[in-house]
Amino acid sequence: MKAIYQPLDHESARRSHMGTSFDPERRGTQEIEGHKEVFEELAAELGDFFEQKHADKLRELWTAYLHSHANVISSMITGPANFPVARNEKRSNWADNKRRAIFEYCGNLKKWKEKADRRAAIDEAGGELAMAKGKLAVAKDWHNTMKAANRVIRLAIRTHGKIIEATREDLRGLGIEAGEVAKITVPNCFGGYGYESFSLTNSNARIKNTAARVATLERIEANKTSGAENEVFQIEGGTVTYDLSSNRINVKHDEKPERAIIDIIKSYGFRWSRGYGTWTRQITPNAKYSAELLIKRLSEQVVA
């Protein structure tokens, strides 16, 4: 359902700048217009992903900022006599934090949209493994096309001493778009034609990385069907689990641990995942070693 724009309360917007502006009416109008502009930008960029609940949250955060900023004053407005500097600085910081929360939420919405789009693309491709294999095939095909294009160009230079129209036709016949053909048939700053060596090197690296990803996903799929059980290690108030089906090491507590415990977990390379609801990292030899040290460290922390 398309999100419906609801403007900020005019009186709240006006009052939010009464202590900091000689023209709070104008500043309040600017707040209302700014909120509308951000709403429209999100609606245009996020499309159907931007739902009413997101619009309501945006308005809620903006309203919270207005209420907080209403407590901020300026010596230019109130006069310098007995001006509460420390108290006003604290209130100003509170308002700034609420202002930042607005745009942090906007950034999070865009990240969530990207993740949703990626999940949809994975589902459409038939799963993450199928998607990775498709990317690998495309990368290999394009690498071979670049090499073939360079051969065509070298042959033209040897035969004719220059690039002729027939050469461009041959390049288009390889499936290279007209704009790309025009680009590689114009001499570069060194007088060379075609795809430069660094392009082929980057392409090889892309193939290598994608192939490694395919191998990892194949290993995960094999673990899912192998019947192998996850390894679970008990720690104070929680567990450390080697989840073979997702290829992750997950640290989970029954209740949110103290800040000191969280800092220890983060120091061993684990990061919080909203999706898993755990502190997690991918299973690798180094991750296993770190997990062993973490379990030992947490045990020592409890004893201490």
CA separation for the pair 131, 195 (Å, rounded): 27
Residue-level pLDDT at 301 = 57
| Of 86, 92, 85, the residue nearest 71 (C-alpha) | 92
3-class state of residue 186 by DSSP: coil
CA separation for the pair 196, 188 (Å, rounded): 9
Instruction: Determine contact, residues 95/68, Cβ cutoff 8 Å.
Output: yes
| Of 142, 147, 203, 205, the residue nearest 175 (C-alpha) | 142
Helix H or strand E encompassing 279: strand 278-282
- Taken in order 195, 201, 203, 204, is the CA torsion positive or negative? positive
Instruction: Determine contact, residues 149/195, Cβ cutoff 8 Å.
Output: yes
Query: Which neighbouring-strand residues pair with 231?
Result: 242
Residue-level pLDDT at 297 = 87
Distance from the Cα of residue 235 to its chain's centroid: 32
- In tens digits, the chain (304 residues) has pLDDT values of 689 999 999 999 999 999 999 999 999 999 999 999 999 999 999 999 999 999 999 999 999 999 999 999 998 888 888 888 899 999 999 999 999 999 999 999 999 999 999 999 999 999 989 999 999 999 999 999 999 999 999 999 999 989 999 999 999 999 999 999 999 999 888 888 999 999 999 999 999 999 999 998 888 888 777 766 788 888 888 999 998 878 889 999 999 989 999 999 999 999 999 888 899 998 888 999 999 999 988 876 544 4
Query: Hey, where are the domains in the chain?
Result: 10-124, 130-225, 231-303
Distance from the Cα of residue 232 to its chain's centroid: 30
3-class state of residue 51 by DSSP: coil
250 DSSP assignment: E
Residue-level pLDDT at 71 = 94
